[in-house]
Amino acid sequence: MAKNTPPSTQQLVIYEVYVRNHGPNGNFADVEADLPRIKAMGVDVLWLMPIHPIGEANKKGTLGCPYSIQNYLDVNPEYGTKSDFFKLIHSAHELGLKVMIDVVYNHTSHDSVLVFEHPDWFNQDEFGIPVSTVPDWSDVIDLKFTGNERLAAYLIEALQGWAAFGVDGFRCDVASLLPLDFWTRARYAVEQIKPGVIWLAESVHASFVNHRRFHGLTGLSDGELHQAFDITYDYDIWPVWQAAVDGKISPTRYLEMLRYQEAVLPAHAVKMRCVENHDQLRVMKLAPTPARALAWTAFQAFNRGALMFYAGQESANTHTPSLFEVDKVDWGTYPLQPLLTRLAHLKKDPALKQGKLHFLAGEPAIQAAWQLNGANLYGVFNVSGASGLAAVQLPDGHYLDLLSDGMVEVAQGRLLLPESAFILRCPHALDLNPLVFDLLEYHHPE
- Residue 31 and residue 55 in contact, taking contact as beta carbons nearer than 8 Å: no
- Given a cut of 60, whether residue 440 has pLDDT beyond it is no
What gap in Å lies between CA 366 and CA 11, rounded to an integer?
Answer: 21
Question: Which SS3 state, helix, strand or coil, does residue 387 take?
Answer: coil
**3-state SS record for 198-222:** EEEECCCCHHHHHHHHHCCCCCCCH
Fold identical between 7-348 and 356-438?
A: no
The conformational region for residue 45 under phi > 0 = left, psi -120 to 50 = alpha, else beta, is beta
As a whole number, mean pLDDT of residues 128-152 equals 94
Q: β-strand 107-109 against 13-17: which pairing, if any?
A: unpaired
Measure Cα distances from 144 to 88, 107, 323 in Å: 33, 9, 25
- Given a cut of 50, whether residue 18 has pLDDT beyond it is yes
Domain-wise residue ranges, the chain:
7-348, 356-438
Strands (E), 3-162: 13-17, 45-48, 98-103, 107-109, 140-142
As a whole number, mean pLDDT of residues 318-330 equals 95
Q: What is the mean pLDDT of the chain?
A: 95
Q: What is the pLDDT of residues 236-283, one digit of tens each?
A: 999 999 999 999 999 999 999 999 999 999 988 999 999 999 999 999
- Residue 432 and residue 371 in contact, taking contact as beta carbons nearer than 8 Å: yes
Q: Tell me, what's the pLDDT at 436?
A: 87
Q: Give the rounded percent of residues in the chain with a pLDDT score beyond 90.
A: 93
Strands (E), 267-375: 270-273, 306-310, 356-361, 366-371
Q: What is the pLDDT of residues 26-73, one digit of tens each?
A: 999 999 999 999 999 999 999 999 999 999 999 999 999 999 999 999
Q: β-strand 231-232 against 198-201: which pairing, if any?
A: parallel
Q: Tell me, what's the pLDDT at 141?
A: 97
Q: Tell me, what's the pLDDT at 126?
A: 86
> Domain 356-438: which topology?
Immunoglobulin-like (2.60.40)
Question: DSSP letter at 26?
Answer: -
Q: Tell me, what's the pLDDT at 1?
A: 43
- Residue 296 and residue 245 in contact, taking contact as beta carbons nearer than 8 Å: yes
Superfamily of domain 7-348: Glycosidases (3.20.20.80)
- Residue 322 and residue 65 in contact, taking contact as beta carbons nearer than 8 Å: no
Q: Give the rounded percent of residues in the chain with a pLDDT score beyond 70.
A: 97
- Given a cut of 90, whether residue 438 has pLDDT beyond it is no
Please state the φ and ψ torsions of residue 103, each to the nearest 5 degrees.
-115, 120
- Given a cut of 90, whether residue 441 has pLDDT beyond it is no
- Given a cut of 70, whether residue 444 has pLDDT beyond it is no
